[in-house]
Amino acid sequence: MNSEKDLDKFRIIVSDWIEKNYPAELRQAPGADGQDPRQSKPYEQAWLRHMAEQGLLAPTWPKEYGGAGFSADQARILAQEQRRAKVRAIPISAGLSLLGPVLLEHGTPEQKQQHLAKIARDEIFWCQGYSEPGSGSDLASLSTRAELVGDEFVVNGQKIWTSHADDADWMFCLVRTDPDASKHEGISFLLIDMKTPGISVSPIRLISGPSAFCQTFFDDVRVPKESLMGHLGQGWTLAKQLLQHERQALGSIGRGDARRALTLPELAAQEMGTDDQGHIANSGIRNQVAQCELDSLALRTTMSRSADEARAGQSGGHIASMLKLYGSELTNRRHELMISMRGTDGIGWEGPGFTPAALRTTRQWLRAKGNSIEGGTNEIQRNVIAKRVLDLPE
């Protein structure tokens, strides 16, 4: 525990550091004034490297694994100060936010040595091999087979929705190691080098256009048995733990993003006009904007409560499912509202005649449809809440 006084001092140090190091080029919102958001890429990269050198991408990890060794309180202050300074959100990296925490807890010393620091420095890129064409919501029915032959697992099968698999260096992957065991107990967790012969990847085009999603095929892929995380048959337990992190990360999308070019009320004022008191002119739209803003505030407040409970040693339980469920529905509502506010400017697909910002709204509206599906559909989240939190009978 840090004393209040220490934390106040810490806050000043952190805020000074951000002030000194955050690139001026990023202080403008992406897409503001019609600027191409890709132009700021190099600055984003530089900022990310800078953060990584200080261990700030994984603030609570031990220093020996590339983290900053911060306490939970210190990490919270870092996040608060970043938000206050309107620092752009770091894209959710599967290595940092999903695999890392589980690897810290369950990895062998060799695995931790090999991977953690590289994850913390954002040097290797991970993808997630969970879903299969025949195993979506019923993930535990997965059939990608890993057979232990000598010192190696031989992997055959197919994964889908493997984000960034075409760029990824490694994949954490659920495989069936015991086809005779019950469906949950026959699953193991493998760390697979994507350069291994026999792996092929093809990208998936979505309703919103090109995407990071891929299909990944395994054809007699040989993986050393040291790549097993946890023990044989423990894969489902680890997978569930990791899904919690994923749901939390997905839920946090709904609380609103400081780097959005325009806030929802600003966009509404721009598109619908304002009355002589400065209020959004269309009262129906204004009411919906108020509902969305109010719901984001409620979601943020519940997230702070959940963090406060965790600090006080009162675990909120399966709060992750709730945040994912609520956050993704809120994101969808926001995008529905945004596209309806833009009118015919918001139905463009590409090219001239539409502003880059309006085109982004359209694509984001389409992409948001996936938020209530990925990471376990919202129907699955409701099942989880009913079972684990409300203790309703099966």
Check binding of 174 to other proteins (CB under 8 A).
no
Q: Any contact of residue 73 with other proteins (CB under 8 A)?
A: no
Question: Among residues 49, 193, 186, which one has the least CA distance to residue 115?
Answer: 193
Of 293, 336, 345, 374, the one binding other proteins (CB under 8 A) is 293
The full DSSP string for 57-73 is TSTTS-GGGTS----HH
CB of 197 to other proteins, least distance (A): 45
Binding residues among 255-274 for other proteins as defined by CB under 8 A: 265, 268-269
Query: Which positions ≥6 away from 8 have C-beta within 8 Å?
Result: none
Catalytic residue, chosen from 19, 246, 329, 336, is 246
The verdict on 304 binding other proteins (CB under 8 A) reads yes
Q: Least distance from C-beta 323 to other proteins, angstroms?
A: 9
Nearer to other proteins, 93 or 248 (CB): 248
The answer to the question of residue 299 lying near other proteins (CB under 8 A) is: yes
The DSSP element (H or E) to which 223 belongs, if any, is strand 209-224
Instruction: Round to whole Å and give the CA distance between 311 and 1.
Output: 10
Per DSSP, what are the bridge partners of residue 218? 157, 199
Q: Is the dihedral of CA 256, 258, 263, 265 positive or negative?
A: positive
Position 234 contacts other proteins (CB under 8 A): no
> Does 54 interact with other proteins (rule: CB under 8 A)?
no
Residue 326 found at the interface with other proteins (CB under 8 A): yes
Structure tokens at 359: 């085109």
Cβ neighbors of 367 (< 8 A, separation 6 or more) are 206, 208, 211
Angle between helices 264-272 and 319-342 (to 10 degrees): 20
Buried b / exposed e along 330-357 (16+ C-beta atoms within 10 A): bbbbbbebbbebbeebbebeeeeebeeb
Stretch of 93-101, 111-119, 233-241, 303-311 contacting other proteins, by CB under 8 A = 303-311
Q: Residues binding other proteins: what is the number (CB under 8 A)? A: 42
Q: Is 77 in the site for other proteins (CB under 8 A)?
A: no
Tokens of 320: 């992750």
**Length of the chain counted residue by residue:** 394
385 is a site residue for other proteins (CB under 8 A): yes
Tokens of 381: 């989240």
Task: Kindly identify the residues of this chain, within the stretch 95-114, that bind other proteins according to CB under 8 A.
Answer: none
Which residue type does 193 have?
Answer: D
Nearest C-alpha neighbor of 204 from the set 251, 175, 249, 162:
162
Is residue 279 a contact residue for other proteins (CB under 8 A)?
A: yes
Q: Is 330 in the site for other proteins (CB under 8 A)?
A: no
Instruction: For residue 7, state whether it binds other proteins (rule: CB under 8 A).
Output: no
Answer yes or no: 246 catalytic. Answer: yes
Between 97 and 306, name the residue whose CB sits nearer to other proteins. Answer: 306
Burial 305-326, CB ≥16 within 10 A → b, else e: ebbeeeeeeeebebbbbbbbbb
Answer for which of 150, 278, 284, 352 binds other proteins (CB under 8 A) is 278
Q: Does 341 bind other proteins (CB under 8 A)?
A: no
Shortest Å distance, C-beta 285 to other proteins: 10
Q: Does 294 bind other proteins (CB under 8 A)?
A: yes
- Of 208, 213, 255, 257, nearest in space to 362 by CA: 208
Question: Does 84 participate in binding other proteins (rule CB under 8 A)?
Answer: no
Binding footprint of other proteins on the chain (CB under 8 A): 265, 268-269, 278-280, 286-287, 289-291, 293-295, 297-299, 301-302, 304-305, 308-309, 311-312, 314, 319, 322, 325-326, 379, 381-383, 385-386, 389-394
Residues labelled catalytic = 246
